Copies of this chain bind each other. A is one copy, B any other.
């Protein structure tokens, strides 16, 4: 992950609502959540939410797919891990052993077996 991408990811998360959205999607796991459900749970206007989803998506932190009339957003765990990796990489000059690599696993999928989670 290169610096501009890191800046983009940090900027995407550096906003109250987007951080909440991302956290919710992380908790939801790789199957994701329809936009409307996110809007309802976080009490956000749907157009505002689209704006924020877009920022997260451009930063590579979420993906979208369509399901019927719903758009389903899901956290991109790899991107999250790459970000954590970059942040800890700067960290441990000289004392690597004290610096455990951070990583983020999706929680177990609740519904049917998901379509190729990784």
Contacts and interface: CB of A to CB of B under 8 A. Distances in A.
- Within the oligomer, what is the number of copies of this chain? 2
A42 B19 CA distance: 30
Given A87-B84, A99-B104, A3 B19 contact: yes
A88 B84 contact: yes
Contact of A14 (B11, B20, B93, B101): B11
Given A27-B90, A105-B95, A10 B4 contact: no
A23 interface: yes
A26 B105 contact: no
A16 to B, nearest CB: 6
Q: Which 5 A-B pairs have the closest CB atoms?
A: A102-B102, A91-B104, A10-B14, A11-B14, A93-B107
Interface of A: 3-4, 6-7, 10-11, 13-16, 19-20, 23, 26-27, 29, 80, 83-84, 87-88, 90-95, 98-105, 107-108
Given A91-B104, A100-B102, 17 more contacts: A3-B20, A10-B19, A11-B14, A23-B90, A27-B93, A29-B93, A80-B91, A84-B87, A88-B103, A88-B104, A91-B103, A91-B105, A95-B107, A98-B105, A99-B103, A99-B104, A100-B100
